[in-house]
Amino acid sequence: MEDFLYFFSFQDPNVLMVVIGISLLSISAAMVGTFTFLDKKALVGDAISHAVLPGVCLAFMFSGNKNPYWIVSGAFFTGALSTYVISWVARYTKLKEDTVIASVLSIFFGVGIVLMTQLQQTGNASLSGLDHFIFGNAISIVREDLWVYGALATCIIVVLLVFYKEFKVMVFNRSFAESIGLPVKRLDFVFNSLMVLAVVTGIQAIGVVLMAALLITPAAAAKFWTDRLSRLLFLAVLFSLISGISGAYISFSLPHMPTGPWVVVVLSIIAFLSFFFSTKKGILTRWVSRRKYQSKIHRDHILKALYQAEEHDKKGLPQKDIVDNFPGKVVKTHRTLRQLKKKGYITNDRELVALTSTGNSEAKRIVRLHRLWELYMTEYMNIAPDHVHESAEKFEHIITPELERQLDKSLNFPKEDPHQSIIPRDQNKP
C-alpha cells in the first residue's frame, strides 16, 4: 500500500518520468498496432521487434555505451531492413509469407544473439544494461532516454493523426485508395516506418521479445467492443495505457521484475476478458443469445404442434404426446411448457395441453409465417412445393412483422399455401 501511494502520488520525479515514458509508448504502440491489426500484418510487428536486436548491439559496438541516439538509430536501421527483406523475399520467391516472416525473424535474432554474446565476452561494464533490451525494464529509463523515446512516440502519434484519413482508407480498401489517387506506395513506406519506430520506442521498457504484444493485443481486445475505427483506437489506447502503467508499477514494487512480461500479462488478461465477456461479440454473449434463440425455436415448435392439433379438431394434446414428439429433449420440453403456461399461452389441465386465446394468436402467427414463406418460395423462386418446407422451418422464427407485411402484400394477401392449407389470420386484424 505504501508502495502504491508512493508510486501513484508521483512524489519521486523518476517515477513520474517512467510513467510518462511508458504511457507515451503504450499510446503510440496501440495506435500503430490498431492499423497493423486491421491490415492483418500483426506478425510483421513480431518480426520487426526481434529484428531490432542486432541493431541495438551494433549501436553498442560503435558508441561503446548506452547512448539512446545510437541505439534508436541502430534499432531503426535493422528493423526497417527486416521489413524490406521480408517483402523482397516474399515478392521474388514462392515461399509463403508466414515462412518468410519466421525465417527473417529467427535469422535476425540469431545474428543479434551472436553480436550480444560477443559484446558480453568483451566485458565492458556499461554493457550490463544490454539485457534490459531483451525483456525490458522501464525503471532503468533515465531523463535522456525519456527525451528520445518520448519525442519519438509523440512523433508517431502526431503523424498517425495527421494521416488518419489516408491510413483509414488504405487499411479498409486498398484499391479504392489507389483509385482516388492516394500515393499508396509512399503511404505504405510512411506506415512501415511508423511501425518500426513504434517497436523501437518500446525496446527499453518492454523488450524486443514481447514488444509484438503491445502492437497486437490492444487492438485485438478492442475489436470485441466496437467496429468504429475511432472508438477502436480509443479503446486500444486505453487498454494499453492501463497495462503499461500497471506493468511499470509491478516491476517497481517487486525488485528484479522485468517490466515487459508484466505489461503483456495484464494486457493479455484484458484481452481474454474481452474475448469472453464483451457485451458485443464475446463468447459468453454469443452463447447466451444462441441459447435464447434455440429455446425460442423450441417454443415455436410446441405452439405450432398445438395449433395443428386444433386444425384437426382436437381440443389439445396430451402432455405425453408433446414430450414424445421431441425425443431427446424431455427436460427442455417440460421447461418450455412451464414457461408457456406462466405466460398464459397454454392451459395445462390434467395432462391435456391446450392453447389459450393469446397462445392461439401467437401460434397462428408462426404457422402463418411458415405458410407465407412456403408460398413466397413457390411463387417467386419457382421452387417445387415439396421442397419448400425445410426452408420455411428456419424462416418462421426470424421473419419480422415488417417483413411479414411485405410478404403479405407482394403475395396479395393469400388464403392458402402451396399445400392447400389455410393461412391462418386473426379475425380482428385486416
User: Which positions from 345 to 384 touch other proteins by CB under 8 A, shown as an x/- string?
Assistant: ----------------------------------------
Q: Strand 346-349 relative to strand 352-355: parallel, antiparallel, unpaired? A: antiparallel
Distance, C-alpha 222 to centroid of its chain: 6
Compute the distance between CA of residue 75 and CA of residue 197 in angstroms, rounded to an integer. Answer: 9
In the complex, least distance from residue 337 CB atom to other proteins, rounded to whole angstroms: 32
- The verdict on 94 binding other proteins (CB under 8 A) reads yes
Angle between helices 229-253 and 13-38 (to 10 degrees): 140
DSSP string covering 100-166: HHHHHHHHHHHHHHHHHHHHHHHT-GGGGGGGHHHH--GGG--HHHHHHHHHHHHHHHHHHHHTHHH
Q: Does 294 bind other proteins (CB under 8 A)?
A: no
Q: Which stretch binds other proteins (CB under 8 A): 252-260, 291-299, 323-331, 357-365?
A: 252-260
Task: CB nearer to other proteins: give 202 or 359.
Answer: 202
Between 199 and 388, CB nearer to other proteins: 199
Tell me the C-alpha distance between 248 and 253, whole Å: 9
What cell numbers appear for 371 in the block?
Answer: 405458410
Scan residues 204-223 and list those touching other proteins (CB under 8 A): 209-210, 212-213, 216-217, 219-220, 223
- State the binding string over 152-191 for other proteins (x if CB under 8 A, else -): ----------------------------------------
Cα(120)–Cα(113) distance, rounded to whole angstroms? 10
Residue 269: CB minimum distance to other proteins, A? 9
Farthest CA pair distance, the chain = 98
Asked whether 19 and 248 are in contact (CB, 8 A), the reply is: yes
- Confirm or reject binding of residue 112 to other proteins (CB under 8 A): yes
Question: Quick check: 91 binds other proteins (CB under 8 A)?
Answer: yes
Asked whether position 129 contacts other proteins by CB under 8 A, the answer is: no
| Placement of cell 413457390 in the chain | 378
Query: According to the binding rule CB under 8 A, does residue 109 interact with other proteins?
Result: yes
Task: Give yes or no for residue 106 binding other proteins (CB under 8 A).
Answer: yes
Shortest Cβ distance from residue 205 to other proteins (Å)?
14
- For position 131 contacting other proteins by CB under 8 A, the verdict is yes
**Between 111 and 383, CB nearer to other proteins:** 111
In the complex, the smallest distance separating the C-beta of residue 260 from other proteins, rounded to whole angstroms, is 7
Give the CA dihedral 257, 31, 213, 271, nearest 10 degrees: 100
Which residue's CB is nearer to other proteins, number 120 or number 348? 120
Whole-number Å distance between alpha carbons of 197 and 85: 17
CB of 275 to other proteins, least distance (A): 5
Among 8, 11, 64, 95, contact with other proteins (rule: CB under 8 A): 95
Rule CB under 8 A: choose which of 1, 2, 5, 121 binds other proteins.
121
Looking at the Cβ atoms of 182 and 216, the one nearer to other proteins is 216
- Regarding 235 and contact with other proteins (CB under 8 A), the answer is no
The enclosing H or E element of 339 equals helix 330-342
Give the shortest CB-209-to-other proteins separation in angstroms. 7
- Count of residues near other proteins by CB under 8 A: 62
- Contact between 268 and other proteins by CB under 8 A: the answer reads yes
Integer distance in angstroms from the first to the last C-alpha of the chain? 71
Residues 6+ away with beta carbon under 8 Å from 112: 50, 51, 53, 54, 56, 57, 208
For other proteins, which is the closer residue by CB, 96 or 292? 96
Instruction: Give yes or no for residue 110 binding other proteins (CB under 8 A).
Output: yes
Copy the grid coordinates of residue 333: 420440453
Q: Are strands 317-318 and 352-355 parallel, antiparallel or unpaired?
A: antiparallel
Among 16, 20, 61, 102, binds other proteins (CB under 8 A): 102
Torsion of CA 57, 59, 61, 65, to 10 degrees: -100
Q: How far is the CB of 99 from other proteins (least distance, A)?
A: 4
CA gap 200, 198 in Å, rounded: 5
User: Which residues lie near other proteins (CB under 8 A)?
Assistant: 37, 40-43, 45-46, 50, 88-89, 91-96, 98-103, 105-118, 121, 131, 134-135, 209-210, 212-213, 216-217, 219-220, 223, 256-258, 260-262, 264-265, 268, 271, 275, 281, 283
